[in-house]
Amino acid sequence: MMEDLRLPADELKNAEAIMIGEIDQLDKLVLDLLDLSQLESDAYELHQENFNSSELLNQIAEKCSFVIQKQKIHLCLKCEADPANVFADRYGIEQVITNFLSNAIKNTPENGTIVVKSENEEDLVKISIFNEGSHIEDTDLARIWDPFYRTDQSRARKTGGTGLGLTICREILEKHGSTYGTENIEGGVRFFFALKTFDK
C-alpha cells in the first residue's frame, strides 16, 4: 500500500513562500557580492556630480515612508535652511543613506524615533541617522563594517539582509575619502559620514 506523501494545501503554500523568500535572499546576496567586487577593484571609478544632499535625503525618506508608518515609527528630518551642495557619486551616496536608514528602521522599537540630519560645517556636509533603541556592544562597533558580521544572530535572521550592506557602505565612503562611523549615544545609535561641499 502506497502512502500519500502530498502536503496539505496550506503547508504547500507556506513552503512555497519560504522557498521564494530564500531565492530572493540569494538574489540579493549575489547582487551585493557583485557590488562589493566592483568597489574593491582598482579600476572602479566614482561618477561624481554636483547635487543637493538635503533633496536626496527627502527623496529617500519619502521612499521609506510606507514602511516607517507601518511600523509606527516617528521620522524627524532636520536639514539646513540653506543646504550646501556636494560633489559626489549620487547613486553611491543614495546606497549609503538607504542602508543606514533601513538599519535604523529595523532596529527602532514601535513608537520609537529616527532622526535624519544634514548639517553644513565649513567645507563639509555632515549627514547622520540616529535611531532610538538598544546600543551596539562596544566590541562590535568596529566590526560591524566587516563582511557577514552580525551583532545579534537572532535579530539578523528576523530582519534579513545579506550581511554585506555596511561593508558596501564602507567601500563607497572610503572611495570618497569620507570620514564615517557609528557611535552609541544617549537613547540609541547614530551612523554618520561627511562629504565635501561643491566648490563652485
Evaluate whether residue 1 is within a structural domain. no
**Number of structural domains, the chain?**
1
Is 14 within a domain? yes
pLDDT of residue 17: 54
Residue 157's pLDDT is 40
Q: What is the pLDDT of residues 155-178, one digit of tens each?
A: 444 455 567 789 888 989 998 999
Of residues 40 and 80, more confidently modeled:
80
Say if 141 falls within a structural domain.
yes
Q: Residue 180 in contact with residue 93, Cβ under 8 Å?
A: no
Give CB contacts under 8 A, 24+ apart, made by 124-127. 124/194, 124/195, 124/196, 124/197, 125/53, 125/83, 125/84, 125/86, 125/194, 125/195, 125/196, 125/197, 126/192, 126/193, 126/194, 127/53, 127/57, 127/97, 127/192, 127/193, 127/194, 127/195
**pLDDT tens-digit series, residues 84-143:** 899 998 989 998 999 999 999 999 999 999 999 999 988 899 999 999 999 999 888 888
The whole-number pLDDT of residue 131 equals 96
pLDDT of residue 147: 80
Mean pLDDT, the chain, integer? 80
Of the candidates 67, 88, 60, 80, the residue with the CA atom closest to the CA atom of residue 193: 88
Residue 110: in which H helix or E strand, if any?
A: none
Residue 152 has pLDDT above 50, yes or no: yes
Separation CA 26–CA 43 (nearest Å): 27
d(CA 112, CA 105): 9
- Domain of 66? 9-196
The answer to whether position 29 is within a domain reads yes
In a domain, 108, yes or no: yes
Region 48-63: what's the mean pLDDT?
Answer: 92
Task: Judge whether residue 29 has pLDDT over 80.
Answer: no
| pLDDT, average across residues 63-79 | 91
Q: What is the CATH number of the domain that holds 178?
A: 3.30.565.10
- Give the mean model confidence (pLDDT) for residues 16-28: 52
Question: 566590526: which residue's cell?
Answer: 143
200 — pLDDT class (breaks 50, 70, 90): low
Domain assignment of residue 104, yes or no: yes
Residue at 55 is within a domain: yes
Q: Which of 91, 100, 94 is nearest to 44 (CA)?
A: 91
Asked if residue 4 belongs to a domain, the reply is no
